[in-house]
Structure 1
Amino acid sequence: MTDGIRVAGIRFELLGPLRAVRPDGEVPLGPPLQRSVLAVLLHQDGAAMPYESLVEAVWGAEPPARARTLVQKYVSGLRHALAFGPGAGKPGAAPELAWTGRGYRLAGAAIDDLRERRALLRAAESAREAGDLRGAGELAVRAEALWRGAYAEGLAGPYLEAERRRWAEDRLRASEARLEGEIERGRSAACVDELTRLVAAHPLRERAAGLLVRALQQGGRPAAQEEVPAAYGEARAGVVEVTDLGAAPGARSEDVQHRNPAPRPGSLPAA
């Protein structure tokens, strides 16, 4: 397969189910494994991917006997979908899907929503370093709003499963940074519910537990006196449970109550 198909003006998204969108409509991308092939190729940033690497990325170490035929079928299906979907033939950016002799290459395409998220988070960090906490928070919220579900949701294969785990962790870190900024802005009360859900879903995340302690203490909730030690204790208990696997509580966990001691009766303002 040495031919390439040029396609017009397509936006690719992976912060949720894979989407390919032209200004006048979404491009139907075919069955799940065909979509997985496209998602893997998008991650190569225009570099050629050898056939063997593509097969391993989609099927793992034990691909089906028909893997070569299936790859050719899915690449052909993608070329057809991208060439004849809504808006095909109109002027604009022209990604190219081709066999280069070294592998399959998808050029002129990017994971656009991921690229936009990275730019927003970089801008948020710059705003925070400049002391603009409000601007940083607004940029971080815009970055979070780009998510439509789990990364590459619904697509199988060891490569995409690893990427899904990677970006789920990155999303959690970004959420923690955003919430920490909100607490620093004095908006602790508005963060408590989200942090409570975050700690419940991820009880081993010491940073989230520490932020919840801070939010409860600073937010002026009447129940904070009881919730602060409970929130810390539950999160730390989750860490202790895995000590047999070598994950002893970290320094941050040990320091939470030293830096954020439970309030004395009457030490918090009324709600």
Structure 2
Amino acid sequence: MVLVRVLGSFAAEAGGGSVPLGGPRQRGVLALLVAARGQVVPVDRLVEDLWRGEPPSRALASLQAYVSNLRRLLEPGRPPRTPARLLVSASPGYALRLPPEAVDAWRFEDLLDEARTCADPRVAYARLDEALALWRGPAFAEVADEPWAAAETARLDELRLVARELRTAAGLRLGDPAAVVPEAQGLTRDAPLREEGWRLHALALWSSGRQADALATLRRARAVFADELGLDPGPDLMALEQAILTQRTDILRAAVPPPPAPQAEPLP
């Protein structure tokens, strides 16, 4: 079984042992293929990205050597002259053929997709918890300064925030808002320009009986948006503030249902 981890330090395992991925460009080849999620990455693009638009005359030969080394590392038991199964040649370049669970970033996205379509908050929370536990640090940490990596790391960072927001929302739906308050507060600290974190934080406080704190949170959100963006809060935050001020408990109950009643014990 091969495992590749890019949500933190870049690492790989094959046959239960750690794989020495080699130098920066060889690691870059694997990272580019992971970012493509099984799609073919053309040779021209690999050369362009690995050498930042200034490839040497022997760039193609070097790329072929990196691919050969990675194939040997990922499939140490592959007989000579046998076609590679994991890092394959596919016109006009190369592709990584691994199951989704073998790459932490791929597994993270699959779990997030499952949670988004799940109606049961318990199951959704568990999926999101598993997804977020895959992160051990910044995505593609060792190659994050490469120009080609910027868009992919930004995309994954955005999805990580979405997963945190969805987990917080699922926690609220489970009916224990006080337990969710610290997580929601963390969202406002780590991503202060995202309205959803502020909404969830205020909602968790309100549903915990802390109306004054909820209103203070929304005032802080208003100040942040005014100072940083020169804008007022969006309609969702404005509506929530009005609901708190007018004690619209029907809105609160719709957003944060009461905890489910415990199941009755079977009769002896």
Shorter-chain TM-score bucket reads 0.7 to 0.9
Counterpart check, 1:194 vs 2:183: yes
Count of residues in Structure 1 that have an aligned counterpart in Structure 2: 240
Within the candidate set 55, 63, 70, 2:54 is matched to 63
Secondary structure at 2:143's aligned position in 1? coil
Alignment partner of 1:147 is 2:138: no
Within 5 Å, give how 1:1-271 maps onto structure 2.
Answer: 9-60=1-52, 62-65=53-56, 68=59, 70-84=62-76, 88-89=77-78, 95-100=85-90, 102-108=92-98, 112-128=103-119, 132-156=120-144, 157-220=146-209, 224-243=210-229, 249-261=233-245
Instruction: Pick which of 25-34 and 163-172 moved more.
Output: 25-34
CA distance in 2, matches of 1:108, 1:185: 35
* Separation (CA, whole Å) in 1 of partners of 2:51 and 2:246: 51
Report deviation, 1:40: 0.7
Q: Does the aligned pair in 2 maintain the 1:124–1:136 contact within 8 Å?
A: yes
1:49-102 alpha-carbon deviations (Å, 9 max, x no partner): 222211333444x33546715434433432343244xxx349xxx634355552
Alpha-carbon distance between aligned partners in 2 of 1:262 and 1:215, rounded to the nearest angstrom: 17
Superposition TM-score, scaled by structure 2 size: 0.76
Q: 1:159 to 1:248 in 2, by over 3 A?
A: farther
Mapped contact 1:203–1:234 kept (Cα < 8 A): no
Contact 1:213 1:260 in 2 (8 A): no
1:215-261 deviation digits (Å, cap 9, x = unpaired) = 111124xxx355323322222222223435xx664322333312333
| TM-score normalised over the length of structure 1 | 0.75
Equivalent position of 1:4 in the other structure:
none
- Percent identity over the alignment is 33
Q: What is the aligned-residue RMSD (CA, Å)?
A: 2.9
The verdict on how the C-alpha distance between 1:134 and 1:46 changes in structure 2, with shifts beyond 3 A counting, is: closer
How far apart, CA to CA, are the structure 1 residues paired with 2:99 and 2:122?
Answer: 33
Give the whole-Å Cα distance in 1 for the aligned partners of 2:75 and 2:126.
38
Residue 211 of structure 1, CA deviation: 0.6
What is the rounded CA distance, in whole Å, between the counterparts of 2:50 and 2:239 in structure 1? 44
- Write the letter of the residue equivalent to 1:256: L
The answer to whether the Cα contact below 8 Å between 2:21 and 2:27 also exists between their aligned partners in 1 is yes
SS of the aligned residue for 2:40 comes to coil
Q: Does the 8 Å CA contact 1:42/1:109 hold for their aligned counterparts?
A: no
Which consecutive residues of structure 1, in runs of 5 or more, have no partner in the other structure?
Answer: 1-8, 264-271
AA at the equivalent of 1:35: R
Q: Which amino acid aligns with 2:28?
A: S
Maintained 8 Å contact 1:205/1:235 = no
Rounded Cα–Cα distance in structure 1 between residues aligned with 2:58 and 2:236: 48
* CA distance in 2: counterparts of 1:47 and 1:133, whole angstroms: 33
Gap regions ≥5 residues in structure 2: 248-268
